[in-house]
Structure 1
Amino acid sequence: MNTSATAAASASKSGRAKIGLFKYVAKNRALYLMLLPGLLYLLIFKYIPLLGSVLAFKEYDIFQGIWDSPWVGLQWFEELFKYERFTRLIANTLIISLYQLIFSFPAPILLACLLNELRINSYKRIVQTVLYLPHFLSWTIIFGLAYVLLSVRMGLVNQVVEYFGYEKIQFLLEPAYFRGMIVLSGVWKDMGWSSIIFLAALAGINPVLYEAGRIDGAGRWRQFLHITLPGILPAIVILLLLRIGNILDLGFEHIYVFLTPITYQVGDVLDTFQYRAGVIEGQYSFTTAIGLFKSVIGFVLLVTANKISNKLTGDGLY
């Protein structure tokens, strides 16, 4: 008797909860309709393509299709790890990612803090617009500008070098300069655009905190250390964690337009190798294995970094 009564009460409570959920969704249907395109985008372009990861474990035959192609297990991962230039690919990828983490990641933070100090709004808007513009240029155009500046034949920089009596430098063909060009071009292109997030975080800091700091005698530097930096720290942590999770993804277009056979030893990364093996040579299963390898490594790094961040700062993605 008690058992049946408990079950009936539980069913009644569950029914009321469902009715309440339906009423809540109906009440906020406009918000859910606005959310629908984003959910459809994630489903169609992010989750459904995950089914294609099965190619990493098959000998893909274009005539047999994905599901009828024969299974080969971990063969493609073994070939990747045995590849003679695998160590070089991983080293180049990690080194360039580390350079970007050290130099590219802090750049928009510093820029946002500097822009936040500007008090003339018209001048501030002009500076922001100028700094945002490179983000909308393609990497092909960026390389064209780099060629105009750095080429031996007509480069402005080499003309200045020659004017001072030095020999012209092969910036675009010299391996020693390749990684520096990649980092600097990335900073120039995306620094302004990436600073938008940090400017929004700065705008969310209560101005009363700065007034209290000035009353207590804190100068600009101490205000930055004790008010500004803690205020934008959650945004910094989240973006840093996302960057760590994508440490093996450098951006194919960025590397490819600058890469030449002479600079392969320092610039050939997993993304460019994946393009050659997949698009040019048609090794679809092999390149799927490379992509899956990158995703697993990124996921492990993201989870690990998130745990460390939660312990050290109290902030994280989850």
Structure 2
Amino acid sequence: MDQKMKVYIWDMDETLILLKSLLDGTYAGAFNGSKNVQNGVNIGKLWENHILRVCDSYFFYEQIESSNQPYLDALNQFDDGIDLSDYNFSADGFGPKIEAHNKRKLAYRHRVIADKYRKGLFDILNQDLIKLWDTLYDMTDTYTDRWLSSARACLEQCAGQERDVTTSINSANAYGQFQHVNVLVTSGQLIPSLVKCLFFRLDKLITCDNVYSSWDVGKLQCFSWIKERFDGPNVQFCVIGDGWEECEAAESMRWPFVKVDLQPNSTHRFPGLTPGDLRHYFSIVYGTTDEDDEGSAVVTQ
């Protein structure tokens, strides 16, 4: 039997990471007083400040905030491929109106952003900021009972084995170095979402071309693009998130949907949710699940 490629489509906030629920106290509130709400708010504010500072300082966010695009490659057709090593981004006359000349300049910025994403924050931040980032990550992971590290571990297990792209089983597999694909579809703006992926250590498991912003177009449109991009006879899709919009969009696409729940007694949260749980949802919709990387039995319904 041909091997299936699974495309996992993740929401970001309150799914892979916790930020909004820290800031508004809903995460701590679910624990009925056993977690200090203000500590969570303070942690959330620290993240917010770091993310915005890096967005503005290194990812052109102050310039392009009003020019949000659904994905980094959206304006590739306007990029003429010139060498940008000596390009003056502060003096090229870029404006907020998305006209032809600004589309080219925005495409240049997206190209630089993609390059910085691939290189990672270690190529941007100094040692003091790296240490501060590590401390904040560990503090957050402790406060959330390992939500961040557990979500990342689940992503890693979902991705499956690393492989040689030259021997991909079908054309869709050429999009990454792993057996399966993790895609992010977030309701937030694109640039802050990319920076969040970097800060929350998701960048090695979600490539920059697999990050979509539904801010302007909605999740159903993003899901349609993803289906068009990856679809094939051996490709299966699953959506994981906490909101109604991704639930309705997944239903429209006839894809399985796994609802993430902040409640501490839920199994659909981190820690708790596993690739095995997700495979169960695949089996409900698609009828079978392939034998996983650890050799578990095939499930047939």
Normalising by the residue count of structure 2, what TM-score does the alignment of the two structures yield? 0.26
Question: Which protein has the bigger helix share?
Answer: 1
Structure whose alpha-carbon radius of gyration is higher: 1
Question: Which protein has the bigger strand share?
Answer: 2
